[in-house]
Amino acid sequence: MSKALSREEAIKAIAGDDPRPLLVLRECKVCNGTDEALLKGGVDNEKTFLLARWFHCVKLPVDVMEEDHPFHNAFTIDPPEHLFVCSIDGTNHDPLESDTSRVKLWKSLKGLIAAEYKGKADSSVKKIASIIDKLDVVDERHLDVVAKRNAILEKEGPKSRKLAKFDKQINKCEAEREKLHNAIEKATQLELKRQANAKEIAAASKDNAL
């Protein structure tokens, strides 16, 4: 028989080995609030997805509301919130609801990023958004070139001399895509303050030992 963990134990179990702050969502029997607030796609929610890159995102099932569910006590208010953000030790807890405005959601996410990470999320988000715009252009060009190559292949066969030109363009697009994906990865690499502090403590201990 399952047993509800304490809040501290539940948060620790949900966090696992991931050092990033938590963004926890729960499914609901009577509404689709979490998906509507956070997971809905579209241009208007692009900033949400970008900010969420600095979180360990966890979605819990409906039965987390059962009193004997191991993670039941992770939700601390009555009625229980649909989603919340917090540090991996449970501090900085900010309960959010399905009808939370995007502006409030972004403020909550950025507030915890500022508390947990070195560097500024806003500048990183703007940089990532700019890179994604460039990636969209390259993706459209790639699709166009592939379509033209397929048309030539169908019309003239695999021995057509025209294919080499399209292959070269496709390879160029793929190289550009890889470069842009690497740039996005680099832009997301804000250092966690906890990790930075751990490094400083380790370095200080090493110096003292010497």
Query: Are residues 134 and 109 part of one domain?
Result: no
Of the residues 88, 116, 144, the one at which a domain ends: 116
Q: Domain with 62 in it: what CATH number? A: 3.40.30.10
Task: State the virtual CA torsion across 22, 196, 191, 93 in degrees, nearest 10.
Answer: 20
Q: How far is the C-alpha of 195 from the C-alpha of 118, rounded, in Å? A: 10
Residue-wise pLDDT for 155-175, tens only, equals 999 999 999 999 999 999 999
pLDDT in tens, 19-66: 999 999 988 876 654 445 555 555 457 778 888 889 999 999 999 999
Q: Please give the model's pTM, rounded to 2 decimal places.
A: 0.73
d(CA 152, CA 179): 28
Residue ranges making up the domain that contains 139:
121-189
Based on the fold, state whether residues 77 and 133 are members of the same structural domain: no
96 part of a folded domain: yes
User: Per-residue pLDDT averaged across 184-193, rounded?
Assistant: 87
